[in-house]
Chains A and B, each alone.
Chain A
Amino acid sequence: MKFLIIEDDAKIRTYVERGLKEAGHAVDTAADGETGLHLAMQEKYDALVIDRMLPGLDGLAIIRTLRGSGNMTGILILSALGDVDDRVKGIRTGGDDYLVKPFAFIELLARVEALGKRASPVAAQTNILQAADLEMDLLARKVRRSGKVIELQQREFRLLEYLLKFKGQLVTRTMLLEGVWDYHFDPQTSVIDVHISRLRKKLGDTDNKLIKTVRGAGYIIEDSH
């Protein structure tokens, strides 16, 4: 995928750039708002990473301009502000996701990849999700593993759907909470883990081969089996 990072802090910019390149992505960077906006308008990106506070043109202003001109590329807002309403403000302006500094790189990677994936036309219109011998029919709301029907509760279904939609990509615990439970909060304990282990049990994934745990980060359903 191809990403654009608009961030004035050189340390964070190179750190994110290097990380994304190591993960096999193409990366452009901009150190100020004007350059960033210019690049975002000219090039085609899978997702943008935009810092909220920028010299020259403010991050939210860039997002507003892009959305105003019909550019619907996925945007991840980076912010040092942790205020109650900042997240809401960022999302309302047109951002798709919001990450507060300091963050773990793996969290940022998972989120921009998810944004990029969402934008790809292949993922958009499928009603059947597959991974190895697992098949998920979104319309009939049926899950089969090796042809055998597995009964899932509604939330378990959504959990599996989310993991399968981002097949081959890491999905963090907070992404699951936001994507499956629709709440943005900090769990004090890893409640999600219990849900995953339940789901594994139902899927017969006894050795954690289907849904893999990425230590200290989240979960992944591998692409090829």
Chain B
Amino acid sequence: MALLFTLLLTAAACILGYFLVDFGRQDFLRETEAAIDIEIRTLANLESHTPAAITAYITRREAHDKTVKFRYENERGAWLAGTIDPVPTALKKLTEGVLRFDWQADSGQETFAAKIHTFVDGSRIIVARNIDDLIASYHRLQYFSVLIMFLMLGVILVSFGISYFVVSRINRIAATAQQIVDTGDLSRRIGIDSEWDDLSNLSRVLNGFLERIEILMHSAREVSNSIAHDLRTPLAGLRGEIETLKGGKASDEKIDAILADADRILSIFQAILRIANLQRASREQFRSHVDLAHILHDVTELYEPLAQEKQIHLSSDIMDSAVVTGDSDLLFQLLANLFDNAIKFSPPGSSITLQLAQSNDRIIFRISDGGPGIPDHEKEKVFRHFYRGDSSRHTPGSGLGLSLAKAIAEYHGAQIMLEDANPGLCVKITF
């Protein structure tokens, strides 16, 4: 492709160059020759074809027009009239029938084109016209032609470079894409070796695109791995329990226990589905204005007996009204999950602090517990599906509570962050 493009451009440049040179050479004398021919025709057609009449015409013309010069001579070549005398020695043939000579004028050397006409009586006339301007413009034309040729050459080289560059870039992008298709290896990236051009920009965008896909694929794989791993244990347990029923008669209690296990597994699936649905749900549908303060009061009321039972003190600082757009059931779920965690991890006798406050134009919710807290290196990980920190390994729970909390927060365009409460954990949600 690059080669074909360059060849076409070269051909176009050659044609243009040839046309320019040829046009200049052919035409530049034509007008001068025509003007000389007119003079000759006028002289030949003079009414009284006498040397005196011719001399008079010549004198008048020469006085009138500085660019024309004449020489009138008799059949033996002796001078009769006109300024050309003697006949210049260096007469050169310019084109067919036209001669060229240099003339030493007062202002310097001038160049003339001339034609010789022989009358019937054998006398001759030389008609010459100054062609300095013509020669100058001919030179200019030649100069520009060469310049254009060089420019064209430049264009050809640059275009060859560009097309070679573009094509090789595109080929490289295609090759990388093909490699990804062939190997399924999403970690490959398109090489970028310059900064300024559009194709490098395209490559950068495509690399970003690949990275996003890789992250998504990675998290999808991680989720499916953890599902496979974390659900295998309870399922294996369930299988074992069913196996023990073989042969004997199952008591209602035993069946209830097995059903409870099955329900727990189902509820884990339910939670995973819910998180997935939240992550792809559109935010606009069925969202109304809800009062976070009101929801928080309800959650507090629901969980207070649970805290009291564990002798955990609840203290709260909740603003009167905090209206956000959202789904009250989901927000309740979010806060309930955080309460649940806080109560679960707080030792008896400690306290949980709630705060709902306005900061600038954001609403900030904080819940701090008196538990062991989460070390910095685990703060990101606890939001992953089924992730259990060291301190929570032996507490009951599905390992999905914070994943769901995060999904709900993000569905509402809120950020959820973990901070240190010294001791304990502070979960901060910025709406």
A residues with a Cβ closer than 8 A to B are 82-85, 88-89, 100, 102, 104, 155, 181-189, 191, 194-195, 198, 215-216
Contact = CB atoms under 8 A, between A and B. Distances in A.
Nearest to B306: A194
A201 to B, nearest CB: 11
Contact of A216 (B260, B270, B396): B260
B273 interface: yes
A85 B285 CA distance: 7
B419 interface: no
Contacts of A88: 286, 327
Given A185-B332, A189-B306, A85 B397 contact: no
Contact residues of B: prevailing secondary structure: helix
A185 B274 CA distance: 11
Contact of A185 (B286, B329, B344, B398): B329
Contacts of B206: none
B268 to A, nearest CB: 11
B304 to A, nearest CB: 9
B277 to A, nearest CB: 5
B226 to A, nearest CB: 18
9 contacts: A82-B273, A82-B274, A84-B274, A84-B286, A85-B281, A185-B329, A186-B267, A191-B305, A215-B253
Nearest to A182: B298
Interface residues of B, number: 38
A88 B285 CA distance: 10
B257 to A, nearest CB: 8
Interface of B: 253, 256, 259-260, 263, 266-267, 270-271, 273-274, 277-278, 281, 285-286, 298, 301-303, 305-306, 309, 327-330, 332-333, 336-337, 340, 344, 396-398, 401, 411
Contact of A186 (B253, B270, B306): B270
Contact of A187 (B270, B273, B340): B340
B259 A83 contact: no
A67 to B, nearest CB: 19
B256 A185 contact: no
Contact of A100 (B270, B286, B298, B330): B270
A194 B309 contact: yes
B302 A191 contact: yes
B336 A187 contact: yes
Contacts of B301: 155
A216 to B, nearest CB: 5
Contacts of A104: 259, 263
Most chain A CB within 10 A, of B266, B305, B411, is at B305
Given A82-B273, A82-B274, A195 B266 contact: no
B274 A183 contact: no
A106 B112 CA distance: 121
Contact of B256 (A82, A83, A215): A215
A195 to B, nearest CB: 6
A75 to B, nearest CB: 20
Contact of B330 (A84, A89, A195): A84
A182 B302 CA distance: 11
A183 B328 contact: yes
Contact of B303 (A89, A184, A185, A191): A191
